[in-house]
Chains A and B, each alone.
Chain A
């Protein structure tokens, strides 16, 4: 069990917040193309523990995605065929 755990850790890549790493990568509800990277193909917001975003940017991202949903730039829920 222990060896298995160790192997798992070896595979895990260190995640960094992409908005902190690249300042030109901005969060804007008017730009659904960037936001789409942080949603699943079903349109759900990808959690922070998976995407690796920092808490600050994840909060901003969440509001941005929700705003984009409000004005139909992004889906609330999508049929898989839409993608």
Chain B
């Protein structure tokens, strides 16, 4: 069995009632074809980098599943025929996976989510302490991802400029 990830974009103007049957249909398809649904992740509305079918925004959904080629073929056929789906893309993540290990993985993920939900109940405190814990082990204060990225991009752009001026000589 192979593990796939399908990202598809649904028309953002659809209401919950309109899009839910489509999601149900696709998840049912996975089960019908001896597949295994790992994760159904709704990313929500995002701006598209370019227009697709005259739309500038899209509702993103990630399907993480295991199955074989015929399942992917059937899923893609359904998405192609459906007007509600603007675009889709399937990526093969792992070529040979075992159904049992995946099942245990799903269970572990579910339990982790439960623990997170119960610990995060007081509010933002849970998250804040987690972040602190992560920062503590290293002696040097690590920059938060956002800062790091900002710095990195700045350094990158200066490097780029250097190179460009070099090239002109």
Contact = CB atoms under 8 A, between A and B. Distances in A.
Interface of A: 8, 11-13, 15, 18, 29-30, 33-34, 37-38, 40, 46, 49-52, 67, 69-76, 78
Contacts of B50: 72, 75-76
Tell me if B's interface is mostly helix, strand, loop or mixed. strand
Contact of A71 (B89, B149, B159, B162): B89
Interface of B: 7, 9, 46, 48-50, 52, 58, 60, 62, 87-89, 91, 149, 152-153, 156, 159-160, 162-163, 166
A83 to B, nearest CB: 11
B89 A70 contact: yes
A51 B87 CA distance: 31
B3 to A, nearest CB: 15
Given A18-B152, A30-B62, A75-B50, 14 more contacts: A8-B166, A37-B152, A38-B156, A46-B156, A51-B159, A52-B159, A67-B91, A70-B87, A71-B9, A71-B60, A71-B89, A72-B48, A72-B58, A75-B49
A11 B46 CA distance: 42
